[in-house]
């Protein structure tokens, strides 16, 4: 189209010049010809960009509708889904939820970060669905199931990400995404998270904190005074958790915590005194409560803060980040 404008302008200019006395056009007429050509070129470019954007938006809208249907558990034809998504489904998928906190127009675009995640993770393909101006749902495809995806140690300032486990096929698209959503819930309450929060590392906490109010009651009833929010109680909890996870090995716990064995012994005894004999008799419940307390800020959510359940602060975060409609 733009080439046609240029050719038309050149033809008209030559025709008018040949018809003009002395073969020269007045300066103002020449300026008007160029202004008109520039105006027409600009209008055509705007129309082209608008049409292209509408086409791309329609493609993106179709992908969003298909992804929403898959995540909702609706029955989908894999062949049709592959065509709409332009993404092979017969392989392993690792879902990532990527969102930005704060101003959406600052820093790199989410699609560029998604490409970096693909490179770092070593995947064989990428599906991106923009669900918000500052958020994107991502699926990284793997022809061979990865044992563990290696994510970047950090993301650009303000960006947060959470990843699900590798899952196969069309059901795996949904499975991995829902797990990533659980990991995002944990990451959103952990200010220290600067990289990708992997579901594999927090799956127990995701399971136990799905109902924050129930989890809070469970922690209070199981840990008692050991659930206090002060730094000393946190040290005791971390030490006891490492000690129990290591099979009650003082040596292993001391190495993991980078403290002396005597320090571990002292802290475990102090934690035992706070727990009391009744709870020490069932350490399985204690271990679950200690796992929940790895992310104590999750317990600050009320029953209305679950995604989709009302206007609580967690739902507002999810809506802003595009994690829920």
Beta bridge partners of 142: 92
pLDDT of residue 199: 92
- The angle at the Cα of 253, spanning 250 to 258, to the nearest 5 degrees, equals 115
Average pLDDT, integer, range 229-243: 93
Residues 28-45 pLDDT 10s: 666 676 677 777 767 777
Residue 264's Cα: distance from chain center in Å? 37
Domain extent listing, the chain: 2-68, 87-208, 212-294
pLDDT band for position 117 (50/70/90)?
confident
Which one is predicted more confidently, 216 or 305?
216
CB 107 within 8 Å of CB 100: yes
Residue by residue, what is the 3-state secondary structure of the chain?
Answer: CHHHHHHHHHHHHHHHHHHCHHHCCCHHHHHHHHHHHHHHHHHHHHHHHHHHHHHHHHHHHHHHHHHHHHHCCCCCCHHHHHHHHCCCCCCEEEEEEEEECCCCCCCCCHHHHHHHHHHHHCCCEEEEEEEECCEEEEEEEECCCCCCCCCCCCCCCCEEEEECCCEEHHHHHHHHHHHHHHHHHHHCCCCCCCCEEEHHHHHHHHHHCCCHHHHHHHHHHHHHHHHCCCHHHHHHHHHHHHHHHCCCCHHHHHHHHCCCHHHHHHHHHHHHHHHCHHHHCCHHHHHHHHHHCCCHHHHHCCHHHCCCCCCCHHHHHHHHHCCCC
Which one is predicted more confidently, 9 or 241?
241
pLDDT of residue 88: 93
Q: Does residue 58 register a pLDDT over 70?
A: yes
Q: Does residue 89 register a pLDDT over 90?
A: yes
The lowest-confidence range among 2-11, 92-101, 294-303 is: 2-11
Say if pTM beats, i.e. exceeds, 0.75. Answer: no
| Mean pLDDT taken over the chain | 80
């Amino acid at each position: 189209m733009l080439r046609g404008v240029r050719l038309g302008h050149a033809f008209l200019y030559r025709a008018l010049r040949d018809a003009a006395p002395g073969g020269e056009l007045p300066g103002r007429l020449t300026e008007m010809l160029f202004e008109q050509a520039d105006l027409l070129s600009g209008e055509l470019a705007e129309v082209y960009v608008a049409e292209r954007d509408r086409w791309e938006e329609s493609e993106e809208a179709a992908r969003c509708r298909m992804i929403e249907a898959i995540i909702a558990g609706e029955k989908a034809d894999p062949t049709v889904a592959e065509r709409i998504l332009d993404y092979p489904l017969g392989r392993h998928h690792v879902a990532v939820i990527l969102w930005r906190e704060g101003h959406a127009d600052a820093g790199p675009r989410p699609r560029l970060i998604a490409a970096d995640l693909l490179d770092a993770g070593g995947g064989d393909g990428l599906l991106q669905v923009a669900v918000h101006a500052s958020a994107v749902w991502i699926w990284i495809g793997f022809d061979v199931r990865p044992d563990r995806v290696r994510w970047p140690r950090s993301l650009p300032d303000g960006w947060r990400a959470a990843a699900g486990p590798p899952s196969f096929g069309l059901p795996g698209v949904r499975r991995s995404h829902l797990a990533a959503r659980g990991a995002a819930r944990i990451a959103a309450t952990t200010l220290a998270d600067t990289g990708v929060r992997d579901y594999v590392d927090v799956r127990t906490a995701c399971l136990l904190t799905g109902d924050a109010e129930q989890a809070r009651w469970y922690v209070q009833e199981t840990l008692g005074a050991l659930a206090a929010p002060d730094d000393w109680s946190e040290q005791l909890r971390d030490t006891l958790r490492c000690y129990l996870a290591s099979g009650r090995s003082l040596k292993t716990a001391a190495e993991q915590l980078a403290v002396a064995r005597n320090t571990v012994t002292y802290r475990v005894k102090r934690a035992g005194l706070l727990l009391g004999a009744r709870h020490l008799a069932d350490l399985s419940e204690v271990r679950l409560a200690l796992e929940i307390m790895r992310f104590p800020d999750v317990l600050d959510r009320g029953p209305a803060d679950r995604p989709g359940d009302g206007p609580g602060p967690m739902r507002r975060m999810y809506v802003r980040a595009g994690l829920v409609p």
